[in-house]
């Protein structure tokens, strides 16, 4: 592989006009496709195989036009102190609001609080339910504005009015976070590469790659039912790996220049060595993202595949466009160790002060670890183990309006309903009774209601509401506890147990659905999929790393180190967002269960990035070992050339992810913190401390591989050993030519 990539790098450098034109044309084509594509809504959300989804599908079939999956809003009214919502003036204001909301083109139904039992027992609070024909993420902005305007009109009458529900759910905005991340990345790249031009190349090519990926997703969004979150994930991951991969190739190019190679030869060698690592690092990320299909949530599968496509584009750009733009840059990209004049390069140096002869920070750190490997290893493991302890108390769930900041209308509506009607009122359960095969459907409906009413943690059970055919009914159940509580989850399981008994006795099927039940089912599905996903991703990557490193122990160490860093990161997330540690510093206003998607999402994204650092760092170590250095010296050499670059890449990723911690959205905030802390642990504790310590302790045994397996595995030559042979052959040819001339 190294020889092929070497030739590809030289070709791209030499034929830079053709390569650059190809990528510019591809970007223009993708942009034109995105501009001409029909505006797509958000991806339809379905969870195949869950009871809640089965009930939703049944409601669509038996209650046509009821918009079972449509957006909902609760407009909550609170009377001024000393007044009641039943006072004539307040009642008239609410009626005007109901009439105003009923005129919306996307509105399916508005429930009058005075006719539907929407007034609290003390008379101070009331609510009107609004049901829409389309899901929350597909609502037109005009419908949201009409909802806000109706609430504002009611406030003018002196009432306190807040809006809850998913109708105000907005598409997350990430532009400012990305800009902050790119800005920090630019600073780190300038410091790392010592040149504004060299620093600009990874940013430029990464943006080109993300542009192609996101534009392609936009162009295909309507056809493939891709939502806006798909492009957000693709841009986040694409930007991350795009900068990383370009940084590694440019750094290797400058190192080759420092060894005295011509620029075309240096470009070829950079792609042949660092490019080989890019290919396999990219493959691990692709495996992790495509592996999300194991969860069997269509939206998550599409997000993973789309992001994987963007990563593949980033790999191809690093192998072709980077050497092409290096050809355009010419001598303005300087050898490693030299800075541009703008950054202080070219100044006269005093004798005896040449820093080139001094060991860099990576060399000094690796030398320290090699001298005291056991102490460093134990300290790293104990530290991460301590950070992982809170993960044992992990509680999974999906956030609701109760986890929103208190400054939002959704949170204030949630609190008003809890105060007026009880905490469980914010998470009603919808029980669907399918009595189509029963002899007496009405009796089944009554039996189901009575048995559910007898359960613990039930505040109210509404009378069954049958459909026109009379064979299916819905029963609204109000729990006693808040939606995200363990008590409510237990109630859902208790109702399903009652349903199983009813089915055995009558043949009727009882299903539990609604937003709360759906959240519980999603959490369970993600939890069940975590272990198979982990086995698949880590297993495939383990096999891939055996091929790359031609070792058993090195890939095993990489996988175990990753698991340790992820557990430590999950522990930190639990400590902050579930236990409330440092909650003020992190802007956490409400603690609660950890988002159910967090563990599997963290495993997928962080695993890919962690293996990036592993491949780039350890391939440089193995390269030194293959070329004859002793194991301990190879560790020091690998860190001498790679530590600075890997550190820069990790700092860039931490900065990008940390930008999301300031978001007002609790889910985005949690994801940003989780990914940032995971990269911090993995890059600086696992890869920079535990990895060299383990390699130093193992010595030559680290590279042990059974002979039969060595013969069976393909030789991918990531270290560029074939390029050393190529050098020897080229040198011999030069000697022969000199002899002929003589």
**What confidence tens digit (pLDDT) does each residue in 199-244 have?**
788 888 888 888 898 888 778 776 666 666 677 677 777 877 888 8
> How confident is the model over 663-689, as pLDDT tens digits?
656 676 787 888 889 989 998 999 899
Question: How far is CA 653 from each of CA 252, 680, 733, 742, rounded to the nearest angstrom?
Answer: 20, 9, 46, 57
CA 695 from centre of chain: 31
**Bridging pattern class, strands 429-434 and 160-164:** unpaired
pLDDT band at 338; cut points 50, 70, 90: low
Q: Please, are residues 279 and 319 in contact by the beta-carbon 8 Å criterion? A: yes
Give the residue-averaged pLDDT of 693-714: 87
Tokens representing 314 are: 């980033």
DSSP string, 309-346: HHHHHHHHHHHHHHHHHHHHHGGGSPPTT---GGGTTT
Q: What CA–CA distance (Å, rounded) separates 740 from 690?
A: 54
CA distance 638 to 481: 56
In 3D, which of 103, 99, 171 has the Cα closest to residue 135? 171
Q: For residue 688, which phi and psi values (nearest 5 degrees)?
A: -90, -20
Of 97-106, 586-595, 634-643, least confident by mean pLDDT is 586-595
User: Which 8-state DSSP code applies to residue 294?
Assistant: G
User: What end-to-end distance do the CA atoms of the chain give, in Å?
Assistant: 38
Integer Cα distance of 604 and 540 in angstroms:
13
Give 223's contacts (C-beta < 8 A, 6+ positions apart): none
Report the run of H or E that residue 237 belongs to, with start and end.
helix 228-258
- Between 648 and 659, name the one with better pLDDT: 648
Q: Cα separation of 557 and 621, whole Å?
A: 15
CA distances to 2, 253, 627, 666, 686 from 726, rounded to whole Å, are: 11, 18, 14, 55, 35
Q: How far apart are CA 187 and CA 21, in angstroms?
A: 29
Residue 170 has pLDDT above 70, yes or no: no
For residues 739 and 471, give the distance between their C-alpha atoms in angstroms, rounded to a whole number: 99
Alpha carbon of 544 to those of 44, 49, 261: distances in Å?
Answer: 35, 32, 32
Question: Degrees (nearest 5) of the Cα angle 408, 414, 415?
Answer: 95
Check if the beta carbon of residue 448 is closer than 8 Å to that of residue 437.
no
State the Cα–Cα distance between residues 182 and 203, nearest whole angstrom.
8
Give the model confidence (pLDDT) of 345-357 as tens digits.
544 444 444 444 5
Whose CA is closest to 53, among 595, 529, 517? 517
Q: What is the pTM of this model?
A: 0.77
More confident residue, 451 or 221: 451
Of 237-246, 416-425, 461-470, 720-729, the one with minimum mean pLDDT is 720-729
Helix (H, G, I), strand (E, B) or coil at 704: coil
**What is the rounded distance in angstroms from the CA atom of residue 194 to the CA atom of residue 593?**
45
Least confident of 23-32, 37-46, 97-106, 666-675: 37-46
Q: What is the pLDDT of residues 237-273, one digit of tens each?
A: 787 788 888 888 888 888 888 888 898 888 888 888 8
Question: How far apart are alpha carbons 607 and 565 in whole angstroms?
Answer: 10
Whether the Cβ atoms of residue 129 and residue 74 lie closer than 8 Å to each other: yes
Regarding predicted confidence, which is higher, 230 or 639? 639
CA gap 147, 107 in Å, rounded: 10
In whole angstroms, give the CA distance from residue 242 to residue 233: 14
Ordered alpha helix ranges (H), 598-665: 598-626, 631-658
Beta strand 396-397 with 594-595: parallel, antiparallel or unpaired? parallel
Question: What pLDDT score was predicted for residue 38?
Answer: 64
Mean pLDDT of 326-347: 67
Give the three-class secondary structure for 81. Answer: coil
How is 161-221 classified by DSSP, letter by letter? EEEESGGG--PPP-HHHHHHHHHHHHHHHHHHHS-HHHHHHHHHHHHHHHHHHHHHHHHHH
Provide the pLDDT for residue 351: 44
Percent of the chain exceeding pLDDT 70 equals 85
Q: What is the pLDDT of residue 321?
A: 92
Q: Which residues contact 619 (CB under 8 A, 6 or more apart)?
A: 273, 276, 277, 548, 549, 718, 719
Residue in the block written with tokens 């495996």: 287
What is the three-class DSSP state of 17?
Answer: helix
Q: Alpha-carbon distance 603 to 206, whole Å? A: 23
Higher-pLDDT residue of 350, 661: 661
Q: What is the pLDDT of residue 568?
A: 93
Query: Which segments of 440-560 are extended strands (E)?
Result: 458-461, 465-466, 472-479, 509-513
Contact (CB, 8 A) for 204 and 250: no
Q: What's the rounded Cα separation, in Å, for the pair 388 and 563?
A: 10
105-114, 385-394, 580-589: lowest mean pLDDT where?
580-589
Q: Give percent of the chain with pLDDT exceeding 90.
A: 13
User: CA angle, corner 302, sides to 299 and 308, nearest 5?
Assistant: 140
Nearest to 192 by CA among 649, 654, 680: 649
Tokens of 255: 């190192």
Task: Pull the structure tokens for residue 406.
Answer: 């208190």
- CA torsion, ordered 323, 325, 330, 332, to nearest 10 deg: -120
CB 216 within 8 A of CB 305: no
For residue 316, pLDDT over 90 is answered with yes
> Taking Cα atoms as reference points, which of 244, 395, 383, 245 lies closest to residue 320?
245
| Structure token digits, residue 351 | 């004798």
* Arithmetic mean of pLDDT over the chain: 81
Burial of 295 (0-12, 13-18, 19+ CB in 10 A): buried
The CA-CA-CA angle for residues 559, 560, 566, to 5°, reads 90
Whether the predicted pLDDT of 477 surpasses 60: yes
């Amino acid at each position: 592989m190294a020889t092929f990539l070497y030739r590809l790098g030289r070709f791209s450098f030499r034929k830079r006009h053709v390569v650059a034109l190809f990528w510019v044309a591809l970007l223009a084509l993708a942009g034109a496709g995105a501009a001409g594509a029909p505006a797509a809504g958000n991806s339809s959300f379905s969870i195949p195989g869950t009871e809640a989804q089965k009930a939703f599908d049944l409601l669509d079939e038996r209650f046509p036009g009821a918009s079972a999956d449509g957006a909902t809003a609760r407009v909550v009214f609170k009377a001024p102190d000393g007044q009641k919502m039943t006072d004539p003036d307040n009642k008239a204001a609410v009626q005007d609001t109901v009439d105003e909301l009923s005129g919306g083109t996307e509105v399916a139904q508005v429930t009058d609080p005075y006719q539907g039992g929407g007034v609290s027992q003390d008379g101070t609070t009331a609510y009107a339910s609004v049901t829409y024909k389309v899901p929350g993420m597909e609502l037109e902005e005009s419908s949201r504005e009409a909802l806000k305007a109706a609430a504002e009109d009611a406030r003018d009458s002196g009432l306190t009015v807040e809006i809850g529900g998913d109708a105000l759910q907005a598409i997350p905005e990430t532009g400012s976070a990305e800009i902050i991340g790119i800005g920090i990345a630019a600073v780190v790249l300038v410091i790392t590469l010592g040149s504004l031009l060299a620093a600009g190349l990874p940013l430029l090519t990464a943006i080109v790659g993300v542009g192609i990926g996101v534009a392609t997703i936009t162009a295909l969004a309507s056809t493939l039912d891709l939502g806006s979150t798909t492009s957000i994930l693709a841009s986040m991951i694409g930007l991350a790996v795009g900068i990383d991969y370009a940084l590694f190739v440019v750094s290797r190019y400058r190192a080759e220049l420092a060894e005295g190679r011509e620029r075309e030869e240096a470009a070829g060698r950079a792609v042949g060595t660092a490019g080989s690592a890019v290919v396999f690092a990219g493959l691990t990320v692709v495996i992790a993202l495509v592996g999300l299909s194991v969860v069997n949530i269509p939206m998550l599968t599409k997000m993973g595949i789309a992001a994987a496509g963007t990563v593949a584009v980033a790999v191809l750009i690093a192998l072709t466009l980077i050497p092409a733009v290096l050809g355009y840059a010419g001598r303005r990209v300087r050898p490693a160790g030299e800075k541009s004049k703008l950054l202080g390069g070219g100044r006269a140096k005093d004798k005896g002060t040449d820093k080139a002869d001094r060991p860099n920070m990576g060399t000094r750190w690796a030398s320290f670890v090699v001298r005291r490997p056991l102490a460093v290893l134990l300290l790293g493991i104990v530290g991460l183990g301590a950070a992982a302890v809170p993960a044992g108390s992990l509680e999974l769930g999906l956030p609701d309006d109760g986890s929103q900041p208190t400054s939002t209308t959704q949170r204030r509506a949630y609190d008003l309903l809890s105060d007026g009607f009880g905490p469980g009122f914010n998470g009603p359960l919808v029980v669907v009774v399918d009595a189509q095969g029963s002899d007496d459907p009405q009796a089944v409906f009554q039996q189901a209601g009575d048995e559910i009413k007898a359960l613990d943690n039930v505040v109210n059970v509404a009378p069954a509401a049958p459909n026109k055919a009379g064979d299916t009914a819905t029963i609204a159940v109000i729990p006693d506890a808040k939606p995200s509580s363990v008590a409510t989850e237990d109630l859902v399981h208790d109702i399903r147990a009652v349903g199983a008994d009813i089915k055995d006795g009558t043949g009727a099927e009882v299903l539990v659905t609604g937003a709360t039940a759906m959240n519980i089912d999603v959490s369970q599905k993600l939890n069940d999929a975590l272990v198979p996903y982990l086995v698949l991703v880590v297993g495939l990557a383990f096999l891939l790393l055996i091929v790359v490193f031609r070792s058993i122990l090195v890939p095993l160490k990489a996988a175990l180190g990753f698991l340790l860093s992820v557990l430590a990161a999950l522990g930190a997330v639990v400590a902050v967002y579930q236990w409330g540690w440092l909650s003020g510093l992190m802007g956490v206003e409400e603690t609660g269960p950890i988002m159910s998607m967090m563990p599997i999402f963290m495993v997928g994204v962080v695993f890919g990035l962690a293996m990036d650092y592993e491949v780039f760092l350890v391939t440089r170590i193995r390269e030194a070992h293959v070329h004859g250095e002793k194991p301990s010296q190879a560790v020091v050499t690998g860190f001498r050339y790679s530590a600075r670059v890997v550190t820069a890449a990790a700092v860039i990723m931490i900065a990008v992810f940390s930008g999301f911690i300031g978001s007002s959205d609790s889910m985005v905030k949690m994801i940003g913190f989780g990914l940032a802390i995971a990269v911090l642990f993995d890059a600086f504790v696992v890869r920079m401390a535990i990895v060299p310590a383990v390699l130093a302790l193992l010595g030559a045994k680290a590279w042990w591989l059974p002979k039969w397996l060595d013969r069976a595995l393909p030789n991918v030559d990531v270290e560029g050993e074939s390029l050393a042979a190529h050098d020897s052959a080229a040198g011999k040819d030069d000697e022969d030519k000199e002899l002929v001339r003589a």
